Amino acid sequence: MKKWAALLAVLLIAGFLTSGVAGPAGPTSIKIGILLPLTGPFAAVAETQKNGALLAIDVVNSKGGLNMPWGKVRVEGIVADDEAKLDVGVRRYRYLVEQGVKGVVGQTWAPLAYAINAVVKREPMPYFPVCVMAKEAFEKGKLADTTFAVAYSPWTVGYMAGSAAIKVLNKKRIFFLARADSWGWDIRDGVQAAAKQFGAEIVGYDEVPLGTTDFTTVLQKVRAAKPDVFISAQFGADAVALLKQVHQMGLNREMTIFNAFITNVVAKGIPPEALKDVYAMHYFYYDLQAFLGTSPVIKAARDYTEMYRSKYKTPPDAYATIAYTALSEMFRGFELAGSFEPKAMANALVAHPNFQTVKGPAYWRKDHAAVYRYAAFLVRGKGPGEQKHEWDLFQVIGSQGGEAVLPSLQSLGY
């Protein structure tokens, strides 16, 4: 009897252990936080960012979920409004953490992204800001180990704009208008770096605060300086107001007009006659066919555009694509790590830095900035006779990319 009892005990223990091994080793679903200023001055751009993030979740779930060692894991997006306010944003970030999210994407306003990064630095969480963060944020030791920024700094925006104006458009005399904050000053520094490198001259400079509506005095200075290109750092409603006044004063007939960074949402607010022949850098434009021809990037961009159109009835905008790319990379990190543990995800991306995007190949650099073959596309605004439909806004005529358009790692303290 004792032998039979001992044998039964062994069998029961073995059965228990086998059951434990065969059982679930991880969750079958997770939550991801999507934190954006859905009200306030950045709401229109934030709406496109939200759409891009939710589309990335749809793509994963359409395949059954994330491929994890214990099976498929579905993803749920939890959307919250940060109102572009530091106190509100940090509080709602903490609320998302309390809800058990495994990662967070968000922010349109760079100062809030930097504040959340400070929290993440103390309390690790996969965090992928989807705004253009200040150059300072990329300095050694500033970004948390689990923060990855798929968009570059304003310095890169300025460097690309300056480089394109000088090298592609052959302009040598630049008047630059900054915004009086880190966005405008970083773009200024990037333009100055390009001018110094490629032999152009800054013949005039001014700066105005965010929210400026009357640019008359500035534009009179621009006219008096007689540049061959006027580069401006204004974005959003500021850019719409500026470019309308540029057209009203006829400056576009005297010089080339170059808005450093633009989106479709911004361009839609500019009358076609004022948008005509305005140049800009665009993170992603949905129609790349004429520029890239038979490149494999065309299929990726087209497939993504068709998915986005099917869901939202419009082509994807630049900031939607930033958010889509960010969440896609977070998901890749989870799958590579086989874990939702923040540092495991980060280590996996560092160990496997190369990735593909809807606009071509990219890789992660030491400073957790993404390096793109096509960091941005040089676009020319289409006028009244050229636009075939409401979203036919630009012609892509060039691109900027590679590590050369980023601040050197040495300059960032690496």
pLDDT of 207 > 70? The answer is yes
Copy the structure tokens of residue 339: 């874990």
Give me the count of residues in the chain: 414
Q: What is d(CA 106, CA 177) in angstroms, rounded to the nearest whole number?
A: 28
Copy the structure tokens of residue 39: 């009200």
Q: What is d(CA 341, CA 346) in angstroms, rounded to the nearest whole number?
A: 9
Sign of the Cα pseudo-torsion (152, 113, 52, 28, in order)? positive
Averaged pLDDT, 377-402: 95
DSSP notation for 43-71: HHHHHHHHHHHHHHHHHHHHTTSEEETTE
Residue 199, Ramachandran bin (φ over 0: left; ψ between -120 and 50: alpha; else beta): left
Averaged pLDDT, 342-370: 97
pLDDT of 19 > 90? The answer is no
Q: What is d(CA 203, CA 226) in angstroms, rounded to the nearest whole number?
A: 8
For position 24, what pLDDT does the model report? Answer: 53
Residues 126 and 349 sit within 8 Å (Cβ to Cβ): no
Residue type, 143: L
Nearest to 108 by CA among 374, 305, 312, 326: 326
Q: What is d(CA 315, CA 306) in angstroms, rounded to the nearest whole number?
A: 8
Strand partners, 279: 258, 380
For position 25, what pLDDT does the model report? Answer: 75
Say if pTM beats, i.e. exceeds, 0.85: yes
For position 41, what pLDDT does the model report? Answer: 82
For position 293, what pLDDT does the model report? Answer: 84
How many of the other CB atoms lie within 10 Å of CB of 100? 11
Residue type, 166: I
Residues 101 and 77 sit within 8 Å (Cβ to Cβ): no
Look over the chain and give the mean of its residue pLDDT values, rounded to a whole number. Answer: 93
Q: How many helices (H) and strands (E) does the chain have?
A: 14, 15
pLDDT of 216 > 70? The answer is yes
Looking at per-residue confidence, does 19 or 93 come out higher?
93
Q: What is d(CA 29, CA 391) in angstroms, rounded to the nearest whole number?
A: 37
pLDDT of 364 > 70? The answer is yes
pLDDT of 106 > 90? The answer is yes
Q: What is d(CA 113, CA 403) in angstroms, rounded to the nearest whole number?
A: 23
Q: Which long-range contacts (CB under 8 A, 24 or more apart) does 238-242 make?
A: 238/179, 238/210, 238/211, 238/212, 239/266, 239/270, 240/266, 240/269, 240/270, 241/212, 241/213, 241/215, 242/177, 242/212, 242/215
**Interval 130-176: pLDDT, tens:** 999 999 999 999 999 999 999 999 999 999 999 999 999 999 999 99
Strand arrangement, sheet containing 370-372: 354-357, 360-364, 370-372
Residues 326 and 130 sit within 8 Å (Cβ to Cβ): yes
pLDDT of 3 > 70? The answer is no
Nearest to 161 by CA among 174, 147, 150: 174
Strand 71-81, strand 29-36: pairing: parallel
Residues 291 and 399 sit within 8 Å (Cβ to Cβ): yes
User: How large is the greatest C-alpha to C-alpha distance in the chain, in angstroms?
Assistant: 107
Going along the chain from its start, the domains and CATH numbers come out as 29-151+297-372 (3.40.50.2300), 155-282+375-412 (3.40.50.2300)
Sign of the Cα pseudo-torsion (338, 339, 344, 346, in order)? positive
Residue type, 53: A
Q: What is the dihedral of CA 117, 122, 126, 132, to 10 degrees?
A: 10
Residue type, 250: G
Averaged pLDDT, 334-339: 98
Residues 277 and 267 sit within 8 Å (Cβ to Cβ): no
**Interval 39-51: pLDDT, tens:** 988 898 999 999 9
Least confident of 120-124, 133-137, 289-293, 315-319: 289-293
